[in-house]
Structure 1
Amino acid sequence: MIKVLVVDDEGWNRELIKTFGEWQSYGMEIVGEAEGGNEALRLAGTLEPDIVITDMRMPGTDGVMLMNALHREYPDIKIIVISGYDDFKYAQSALRNGAVDYLLKPVDPRELNAVLDKCRMELMEIRAEQERYTLDIDITWSLSNHKQLMKVHFNELNVDSVNSVLGNVTEELKLGGIQSPGMLRQAASEMLLLLKELLRGNGLEDAQLKTEIPNAVLATPESLECWLRELYGGSLEQLIGQRRFKNKLNLEDVRQYICGHYAEAVTLEGLSRVFFVSKEYLSKVFKLEYGINVTDFILQLRMDKAKQWLEGGNIPIKTVAELAGYEDVGYFYRVFKKHFGIAPGEMRKQSEGLKMSNAEG
């Protein structure tokens, strides 16, 4: 609800404003009343109103002083000024200090409600902009695991698993209370960017991908899921069609695919699905061509990359493990030591020692 504070030293004027305003129609409620500027400032700090309706002539802190203070301390508050004096100086001062409008007593109900509606529209626009452009790190965090799974299932052309991930995204958004249009827009944008990344990674153009997010899609997490299913489903059909109608298996394509996706959960089964051949056939011809089986090729690639990162910089070992495709750091340590005969930390120390020796020499 939009919160309104009414300020006037005369009680009957406050009652007229309360009576004339179509508060419920505009999603507003009067949260407080004040007889003067000092009391109004105190209530503004505790009640946090969105709109202040104030008289100009009051004992003590008058309307001008109140507006100056509100403008300085609470610049987002919308101010509507009401005065019994048809004085241009008051109107000029009110508008200079950011008043939305200046109304004369006796208040015309139509004019009052027109100004209230104007305030409502401005506040709704501000809130929509804030929701649209304020990135919520919790949303990104909530989607992170699902996005990793999506990469694997999409690249393996697994339609059922892709839809399952989208269903899980919906449940995650609902459980996290991520259901406002602004929040859903961020989630939609992140999943859309992921799809563009997946298309480009698979050598497909993304020019025909819908980049505008319809407002109807942002109504509920379920409506967002339906839209994403359509986008991801259509893109998968395009990719499946491209792969299926290739004349024969190109082993260089397989090798390049592994080199581009080694940090993901690449498996022989997944590769066979991607290239529309049996696991047995792919394993056999790959080893004949490169002298190493698929699983060992993936392991060798990961270990070589990990060794480069360990020797080449100060990247934390945990990050190196993740970059090489290992979420479990303990498992990465065991695989690395088995492959090279020393632990990752020892290899880094040896590399640093060698660099120091070369520098001294």
Structure 2
Amino acid sequence: MIKVLIVDDESWTRDIIKAFGEWERLGMEIAGEANDGQEAFRLAEALEPHIVITDMRMPGTDGVRLLEQLNGRYPRMKAVVVSGYDDFQYAKHALRYRAVDYLLKPVDPKELNAALLKCKNELEAAQPEREPLSLDIDISYLLASYKPILRSHFNELNREGADAAFRQLAGELERSGMTKPVMLEQVAQELLLLLKELTAANSLGTGSTQTAYGRDALASSGDTVLYVASRYDEALERLVAQRKFKNKLNLDEVRLFMQKHYTEPVTLDQLARVFFVSKEYLSKAFKLEYGQTLTDYLLHLRMEKAKEWLADGSIPIKSVAEMAGYEDVAYFYRVFKKHFGIAPGEMRKSGEV
């Protein structure tokens, strides 16, 4: 997978880039985020991203200095500049340090993905002697339908559901003729990267996230899926042990889980299963500790994030609703107005955001 680092001091700009980028289709993943050039350079050393998307005006080390440092240290790394200022001087700096593209805020999704595709093509062209970075689009498309299912089953500690999904995937790979070793390696890599994301989101160590495997794992679609499923099973066993055998419920972990999954349909039933307590106990303990119900806390998370995104007038309110976890825009309008006493569009016009 092609690793991407996003650098911008405005969190909602980073959120927009993450939301608009067609990452799976392009065979890319968000490796990290930074809010200034200094942090970005440190992350670049640790993560070794292939692409850096950076703002130009930031406190401390700005985008100009960052591009200069990266260009000297990592000449093969690709850069895409995003700036809110149509400034010729910035454009000159971007060209001097061989930025692939220069995008103006508000970011246009088509322009962003065109720039990312250009980066990908240049990376592939620069490495003809190595294994190509290009991915089989049909496999990525197939896996895209399974990843949300596996993510949901993992977060709910539903091993049976995950195993059933893996069995279905193995059969579909076989029927579709996606059985070449290079195809199966892509399947393994994409699903193991998803596992790495899931273990990190659940504050789990990296014991089951190694991506090294032998040729036996690529002998057939069944062998590949079985290998990947075993890594998921191992991670789930450790997560269950971590949650189930604690002396008492850690409410900070519950709150952290909600902060990471607020865009998903999180329910009290799901949280109770995930943390091995009764619904009644979890509900009472959370309200006693934080002075509000789980439902109210989840609503607060979504509304505050939506309000933050509304500050950027370039984001359509429909997109704000979707990013906050509401597919029904009309329902989002009602909930938002009830929470803040003003409709999203009115808040944006009034400048209260």
TM range, smaller chain: 0.5 to 0.7
Whole-Å separation in 1 of the counterparts to 2:322 and 2:250: 29
Alignment of structure 1 residues 1-40 onto 2, 5 Å = none
Whole-Å separation in 1 of the counterparts to 2:149 and 2:278: 23
The aligned counterpart of 1:307 is: 307
Preserved contact between residue 185 and residue 213 of structure 1 (Cα < 8 Å): no
Whole-Å separation in 2 of the counterparts to 1:136 and 1:330: 38
Structure-2 change in CA distance of 1:326 and 1:215 (3 Å): farther
Whole-Å separation in 1 of the counterparts to 2:241 and 2:212: 25
Mean CA deviation greater in 321-330 or 275-284 = 321-330
Whole-Å separation in 1 of the counterparts to 2:231 and 2:208: 11
Question: Do residues 244 (structure 1) and 240 (structure 2) align?
Answer: no
Whole-Å separation in 1 of the counterparts to 2:348 and 2:172: 40
The aligned counterpart of 1:260 is: 260
| Structure 1 position 151, deviation (Å) | 2.1
Alignment of structure 1 residues 73-222 onto 2, 5 Å = 133-174=133-174, 177-207=177-207, 209-222=209-222
Structure-2 change in CA distance of 1:240 and 1:207 (3 Å): closer
CA displacement 1:12-40 (0-9 Å, x = unmatched): xxxxxxxxxxxxxxxxxxxxxxxxxxxxx
| Structure 1 position 192, deviation (Å) | 0.2
| Structure 1 position 343, deviation (Å) | 4.0
The aligned counterpart of 2:11 is: none
| Structure 1 position 338, deviation (Å) | 4.1
How many percent identity over aligned positions? 53
How many residues align? The count is 226
The aligned counterpart of 1:230 is: 230
RMSD: 2.8
The aligned counterpart of 1:358 is: none
The aligned counterpart of 2:293 is: 293
The aligned counterpart of 1:276 is: 276
TM-score by length of 1: 0.56
Whole-Å separation in 2 of the counterparts to 1:319 and 1:168: 32
Unaligned residue ranges in structure 1 (runs of 5+): 1-128, 356-361
| Structure 1 position 171, deviation (Å) | 4.5
Name the larger-Rg structure: 1
Whole-Å separation in 1 of the counterparts to 2:162 and 2:236: 9
Preserved contact between residue 152 and residue 265 of structure 1 (Cα < 8 Å): no
Unaligned residue ranges in structure 2 (runs of 5+): 1-129
Write the letter of the residue equivalent to 1:258.
Answer: M
Between 1 and 2, higher relative CO (CA 8 Å, sep ≥ 6) is seen in 2
Write the letter of the residue equivalent to 2:153.
Answer: H
Structure-2 change in CA distance of 1:297 and 1:316 (3 Å): same
Preserved contact between residue 199 and residue 205 of structure 1 (Cα < 8 Å): yes
Structure-2 change in CA distance of 1:179 and 1:349 (3 Å): farther
Write the letter of the residue equivalent to 1:319.
Answer: S
Structure-2 change in CA distance of 1:163 and 1:318 (3 Å): farther
TM-score by length of 2: 0.57
